[in-house]
Structure 1
Amino acid sequence: MPVFRYTGRDRRGRIRRGKITSDNRKEAVSKIKEMGIAVTSIEELKGILYKEVNLNVKKVKNQDLVIYIRQFSTLLKAGISVVETTNILARQTSSKLLKKALEDIANSLEEGKPYSDSAEIHRKIFPPLFINMMRAGEAGGNLDEILERMAVYYEKQHNTTQKVKSAMMYPATVGIISVVVVVFLLSTVVPAFADMFHSFGGELPLITRMVLGLGDFFKKYWWLLLLICLFNLLGIQYLRSNKTTRYYFDFALLKIPVIGKLLQKASIARMSRTLGSLFASSVPIQHSLTIVERIIGNEVLARVIRNSRNSIEKGQSITVPMEKHWAFPPMVTHMIAIGEKSGTMDLMLDKVADFYETEVDNATDQIKALMEPMMIVFLSIMVGVIVSAIAVPMFSIFETIQ
């Protein structure tokens, strides 16, 4: 993504300078305005030094953030002030990055600054949703209720994410172990038997020659296989970093049998839970949709959310673009339409989120139940072929000896 250097003034009239990554200048200005900064100048930085390289370094774990928000909510409900709560949690957290951020926030709070403005400085740690919800709670005087809602929200999001990761990691782990076992057998065990077979002379069976050839290939060109894996990882990273290619990458993911349905349900659950929380906190609908568009994690659904925001600006229903898109099931659009007409949007969205979070749980269990026998059969076939390549010529040798 391009990097932009900007200069502007915040709500207190102070000059603010910084850098921000965005797809284009217009979107960069929009992001800066959402930070409460009026842009006076902005320029794109050129050159290789300003190319974004995302290695996910120095990032607060999602689990640490979930624990922090839950503890924040509990202490605030117990009647402890925001400043004292922040100081207590800064001492208790195990994350060094979060600890440093909380210490800075505590100092800002003691100077009389709002929590949301203080947290906004640490945007790499605190998500935009959390900052905007805190700002809404400060404005409405119900910070304890907002924090309770945020604690529930992030706990559910964390559980859903872990479920999806678990479903994806299981076949990946078994697959990697299978490949390692097969490569080990081909590169060490099979060649040892090959030397013995050659010493007895005679022509080896076709299956044995094929396995031996594959073993030789692994021994000679193992570096090529590593390069292919590395290029694949870099290719996926590039596809995900570019907005245009990310759309087609996410589209392909959603079309994968079984896995695509799981990702679709997880994205809808995230969208519904987020929108429901924002509506319940009286965050303006267009701003809510902007936040959801950025955090939904799938460019296909994000484009539909963007179209829904444009639909509202034209005076139409939020569900018009959703009804025309295959990624949104009729149940979702019907529930949202009912909530829109009855004024119970937050309640309906929570119901949709509850339903699809349960669906994600069921889908992950089904995937694990489906993948386990498939991976066992795959590994059995691979090992069986290698064992057969060794056993068939051994029977021939035994017959010759007899």
Structure 2
Amino acid sequence: MAYYRYKGRTRAGKAKRGKINADSSREAITMLKQDGITVFDINELNTVLYQDIHFGKAIKNRDFVIFLRQFATLIDAGITLVEATSILEDQTSNKQLKQALAKIQDYLEEGMALSEALTQFPKLFPELLVSMIHAGEVSGSLDDILDNMASYYEKQYQLKQKIITALTYPIVVGFISIFITIFLLAFIVPIFTDMFLSFGGDIPLYTALVIRISEVVQAFWWVILLIGLLLVAVYKYLQQKPTLAYTFDVAKLRIPVFGGFIQKSLLARMTQTLSSLLNSSVPILQAVEITERVISNRVMKKVLKESHSALEQGESLAGPMQTHWVFPKLVTQMIAVGERTGSLDAMLKKVADFYEQELDEASDKLKSLIEPVMIVFLATIVGAIVMAIVIPMFSIFDSI
């Protein structure tokens, strides 16, 4: 549910404004109408104070896919939308989805189309799904569309898991390395420092440097933590600036090893999304526009926007892609062939399958490459600190 600020007029003609809590703007207007208030203007309050707090995703991907599969099965069995929605509401255990389905059932009983009813809950039902369902309503193949979308979101989830799996290892090892380094410098090195000073003698330059770093860490650990948090905050702030955000996205694609992996994942998602939309009879201009919003990388978004403009002018979809480095020749050639032969959706599907396979292989290679590199990296850091402790101990043993 959300809060809405409204302006209206009572039956007595008196101006009225205030706030109301409802599941959608449509429901808020209905509630106010029942109270004798004619609404002139209504807007959702998006500030933190007026938002419901949810921890994690409103609907887990697994629950979402099951919901779509069940919906498709019920519609294919000849059950009406209202009955199917009621059955799914009873079966689902997700609180947010259950509440939404109850309201959707009401909207359907009022004569509203399913796609329009879903737009009342944008946080639960993505724009892509709504567009596909609208296409299914027009073509009379809603059950097939729902089943296809279940497969699509399944693939998207698997794609996301591949990326997470590939990138988790270096991130975890990196954090462990930082933790071990700080622990050694803050707690272990000081113990040996006191021992070295008690024995006297000269401390090697390398060891003295490590001891100095240890003293800085002990005295200013909070500054190091603050700098880390500040860097994260600055990055988040800069991401809101279009020019800098675009630069960051270019940098991500240019990173050695990881850049190619990210590029393949983006190409797989783009071609898969565009193929699903076109296969469901969504007009190509609308399909490209929706795909542009689905893709998060601004480099690819910009090229898709240029392709959309090219299509509006009667030119080729592949044209702007052929002149940009983010799209390999394989992709642009397949799209160009698909446009000439009238089988663009099939060609995009082939490209999506190819890059999904490429992503599987790249994920395995990335893990096999990163693992030894990260082990050597961790061993080098720990070994450097240990050597700073061991070197002066030889001098101490000689003096004894």
With over 3 angstroms needed to count, the CA separation of the structure-2 counterparts of 1:149 and 1:321, relative to structure 1, is same
CA distance in 1, matches of 2:80, 2:310: 42
On the 8 A contact 2:59/2:96 being kept in 1, the answer is no
With over 3 angstroms needed to count, the CA separation of the structure-2 counterparts of 1:59 and 1:333, relative to structure 1, is same
> CA offsets, 1:249-283, max 9 Å, x none?
11111111111111111111111111111111111
> CA offsets, 1:50-73, max 9 Å, x none?
9xx9x9967425524334323333
The correspondence of residues 200-215 of structure 1 with structure 2, limited to 5 A, is 200-215=199-214
Give the TM-score taking structure 2 as reference length: 0.84
How much has 1:245 moved relative to structure 2? 2.3
How much has 1:49 moved relative to structure 2? 6.8
- Percent of residue pairs identical: 48
With over 3 angstroms needed to count, the CA separation of the structure-2 counterparts of 1:399 and 1:70, relative to structure 1, is farther
> CA offsets, 1:220-270, max 9 Å, x none?
111122222212222222233333322111111111111111111111111
> CA offsets, 1:127-174, max 9 Å, x none?
110000001111111001101111111111111111112212210111
How much has 1:326 moved relative to structure 2? 0.7
Which residue is 2:151 aligned to?
152
How much has 1:89 moved relative to structure 2? 3.1
RMSD of the alignment, in Å? 3.0
CA distance in 2, matches of 1:250, 1:273: 21
> CA offsets, 1:262-316, max 9 Å, x none?
1111111111111111111111111111101111111101111111111111111
CA distance in 1, matches of 2:60, 2:337: 33
Matched, 1:161 2:160: yes
Q: Which stretch shifts more, 300-309 or 221-230?
A: 221-230
Q: Which stretch shifts more, 326-335 or 160-169?
A: 160-169
Matched, 1:374 2:370: no
How much has 1:380 moved relative to structure 2? 0.5
Which residue is 1:228 aligned to?
227
Q: Which stretch shifts more, 375-384 or 386-395?
A: 386-395
Secondary structure of 2:122's aligned partner:
coil
Unaligned runs of 5+ in 2: 8-18, 20-39
The correspondence of residues 21-170 of structure 1 with structure 2, limited to 5 A, is 59-63=57-61, 64-170=63-169
> CA offsets, 1:70-105, max 9 Å, x none?
333344344444333333333444433223222221
Which residue is 2:179 aligned to?
180
CA distance in 2, matches of 1:207, 1:357: 49
On the 8 A contact 1:59/1:124 being kept in 2, the answer is no
With over 3 angstroms needed to count, the CA separation of the structure-2 counterparts of 1:104 and 1:211, relative to structure 1, is same
- The number of aligned residues is 365
| AA partner of residue 299 (structure 1) | R
Which residue is 1:343 aligned to?
342
Secondary structure of 2:215's aligned partner:
helix
Which residue is 1:35 aligned to?
none
Which residue is 1:318 aligned to?
317
Secondary structure of 1:291's aligned partner:
helix
Which residue is 2:355 aligned to?
356
Which residue is 1:265 aligned to?
264
Q: Which stretch shifts more, 346-355 or 231-240?
A: 231-240
CA distance in 1, matches of 2:304, 2:144: 27
CA distance in 1, matches of 2:260, 2:6: 41
Give the TM-score taking structure 1 as reference length: 0.83
CA distance in 2, matches of 1:239, 1:322: 27
CA distance in 2, matches of 1:208, 1:229: 26
CA distance in 2, matches of 1:380, 1:215: 19
CA distance in 2, matches of 1:305, 1:193: 60
CA distance in 1, matches of 2:42, 2:74: 44
How much has 1:215 moved relative to structure 2? 1.4
Which residue is 1:216 aligned to?
215
Q: Which stretch shifts more, 207-216 or 323-332?
A: 207-216
Secondary structure of 1:113's aligned partner:
coil
Which residue is 1:291 aligned to?
290
Largest Rg, 1 or 2: 2
On the 8 A contact 2:268/2:352 being kept in 1, the answer is yes
Unaligned runs of 5+ in 1: 8-17, 19-40
With over 3 angstroms needed to count, the CA separation of the structure-2 counterparts of 1:181 and 1:344, relative to structure 1, is same
On the 8 A contact 1:239/1:249 being kept in 2, the answer is no
| AA partner of residue 211 (structure 2) | L
| AA partner of residue 60 (structure 1) | A
Q: Which stretch shifts more, 144-153 or 69-78?
A: 69-78
On the 8 A contact 2:59/2:124 being kept in 1, the answer is no
With over 3 angstroms needed to count, the CA separation of the structure-2 counterparts of 1:302 and 1:208, relative to structure 1, is same
With over 3 angstroms needed to count, the CA separation of the structure-2 counterparts of 1:242 and 1:58, relative to structure 1, is farther
> CA offsets, 1:347-381, max 9 Å, x none?
11100100111111111111111111111001101
| AA partner of residue 348 (structure 1) | M
CA distance in 2, matches of 1:49, 1:75: 39
